[in-house]
Chains A and B, each alone.
Chain A
Amino acid sequence: MVLGAMYEGIKHIFKHTFTMKYPYQKALLPKGFRGRHLLYMDKCTGCGICAWICPERCISMVPVTDNKEYPQNSEKRFPQYWYARCCFCHFCTDYCPTGALDYTPDYELAEYDRELLLWSPERLSRPATNIGEYQSSFHGPNGSRGVTYELVKKKPK
């Protein structure tokens, strides 16, 4: 019995290790990994469902002051993320009615300054850096989202 346990231990001395040298080696991320968000500003209508569904209340709708025209979003209000609070559940992405939010594989989001964790809409619409073999625009294998929902009807007054 003891010899059996010792034999198992000795057998595994010659096998490969589980661990990785992290900053130099990185694990391959699967499609649909829930990293930071990507905002398509040409699709967002500023409806604010992402801010309503957010469990951590880290999304706020802010006006954008740039010279571009957004015909679908006349008030120019877009989501702003506070990554100090975000728990990466990505319900905002799945519940977005126009598909303006997406997953990216960026997960190294640490900053030296606390204010830098506040991501403006322009910063959120930058493409992902840690792209690798990752395919963006993951909406399920059949091209459709798993989540479907009905909006709450307002009570008649």
Chain B
Amino acid sequence: MTTNPSQARPPAPPTAVTKTPEPSTLDVSVGPQHPGSGHCRILIRVDGDYIVSADPDIGYVHRGCEKIAEYRNYVSNIPHLERPNIADAIHLNWAYVLPIEELQGIDVPPRGRYIATIAAEMNRIMSHLYWMAIMAGVFSGHTTAFMWGFGDRDLFIELAEMLTGARLTYSFLPPGGPRRDLPYGFEHRLTKLLDYFEKRLPEYDRIFFSNPLLVARTKDVGILKREEAMKLGVVGPVLRGSGVKNDVRKMEPYGAFADLDFEIPTFEEGDSYSRFRVRFEEMKQSVSILRQALQNIPKGPIARKAPLAVPEGEATGRVESSRGEIAYMVMSDNSDKPYRVKIMNGSFRNLIALPFLLRNVHVADMPIIYGSLDYWPVEADR
């Protein structure tokens, strides 16, 4: 039986993987259903046990957040513009609200800025514990880190529930200031929790971060040099793991970060282990920030009266989230709905480093390298 040439299937469009087929290599598709890769497919070309090249294929959870934002009013946008990253909802909410407040000319009272800072730093610890549980613990086969990370994260979630009324998607910062003041007994409970958590951090270090089994799997794996990292434009803990002191909280202080004293942990090596260590040290810094914020919190009003419409203009808000820098650009046309909202986030920028890191490495190192980037597919796809 002869095949009709007109019915033959056209060749697949060339991608980075299919461009240069070589003998002795094999193309493998990791995901999108694979529990390790999340809602993202990574096409890898393997030669024996080594990965020759990798091509991340994203877009499976694209929801069109930017377009939906043009059909909702400014306050209604908050719940769905914080949905892209529910582990880090306060930072996404804050980055969206900062440009609106700038356009409206609202100066949030100091107490409101301190409350937002406390909520954001609690969220950073929660997000890093989530990363320690899933992206680091499960991917390296360390079940104890998974259990401990999720167990201790829940204590912070309970306090966030006490402050905001919801466990994960807070919608806590509408334009003008936070929705609620600190409830009775919150300072006491948070101080007790920080005392407990500071005792837990050395235990995490002994059982997980300094565990020779983890060090052997992460040391000198997926090295991203300082110059390469700056050229690729990665942000957040990935950039700081390559030795660049880059943090929006220091460069353009927002909230109450100008009054607080903290350090930016950096590591020079640029391998997966240094990216792991950066997040561990950041949790320590967040505990110190929370203690200072609880001590220095001023009295007074928490929010200003905010109009529901925004005057014409364009503004950008930058926030250091736990996955790197987030920027929301808001364009308004003097109505109650935004004309355009553009989201730039850390996950998308850090994924650019993945094809460079997955070269001439073992297949077994792929989950570790992927986990060290702390990639959140929904945030990158928006």
Q: Which residues of A does B touch, CB under 8 Å?
A: 1-2, 4-5, 7-9, 18, 27, 29-34, 52-56, 87-91, 94-95, 103, 140-142, 145-152
Contact = CB atoms under 8 A, between A and B. Distances in A.
A34 B164 CA distance: 8
A55 B179 contact: no
B206 interface: yes
- By size class, the interface of chain B is 35 or more
B115 to A, nearest CB: 9
Given A1-B212, A146-B180, A146-B302, A55 B77 contact: yes
Contacts of B303: 146-148
B176 A33 contact: no
Interface string B121-156: 000000000000000000000001001001100100
A55 B78 contact: yes
Interface in B29-80: 72-73, 75-80
A132 to B, nearest CB: 15
B180 A55 contact: no
Interface stretch (B166-174, B344-352, B368-376): B166-174
B77 A148 contact: no
Interface string B153-196: 01000100110011001010010111111111000000000000
B206 A32 contact: no
Which one of A1, A31, A32, A33 has the highest number of Cβ atoms from chain B below 10 Å of its Cβ? A32
Contacts of B176: 147-149
Nearest to A1: B212
B180 A53 contact: no
B277 to A, nearest CB: 16
Interface of B (DSSP majority class): loop
A2 B214 CA distance: 11
A148 B307 contact: no
A34 B213 CA distance: 43
Given A95-B75, A152-B307, A141 B165 contact: no
B336 interface: yes
Contacts, number: 113
29 contacts: A1-B210, A2-B213, A4-B206, A4-B207, A5-B210, A5-B211, A5-B212, A7-B206, A8-B203, A8-B206, A8-B207, A18-B147, A18-B151, A18-B154, A30-B183, A32-B165, A32-B180, A34-B165, A53-B76, A55-B80, A56-B79, A89-B78, A140-B180, A141-B182, A146-B178, A147-B176, A148-B306, A149-B307, A152-B309
Contacts of A89: 78-79, 166, 169, 171
A5 B208 CA distance: 7
B308 interface: yes
Interface in B211-251: 211-213
B199 interface: no
Contact of A149 (B151, B158, B206, B305): B305
Nearest to B211: A5
Interface of B: 72-73, 75-80, 144, 147, 150-151, 154, 158, 161-162, 165-166, 169, 171, 174, 176-184, 203, 206-208, 210-213, 302-309, 336
B166 A1 contact: no
A150 B179 contact: no
Given A87-B169, A88-B166, A152-B307, A141 B184 contact: yes
Contact of B73 (A7, A18, A33, A52): A52
A140 B302 CA distance: 11
Contacts of B154: 18
A147 to B, nearest CB: 5
Of all A-B residue pairs in the complex, the 10 with the closest CB atoms, nearest first, are A18-B151, A55-B76, A34-B165, A30-B162, A8-B207, A146-B179, A89-B171, A89-B79, A150-B307, A148-B305
B307 to A, nearest CB: 5
A30 B180 CA distance: 14
Which one of A1, A5, A18, A90 has the highest number of Cβ atoms from chain B below 10 Å of its Cβ? A5
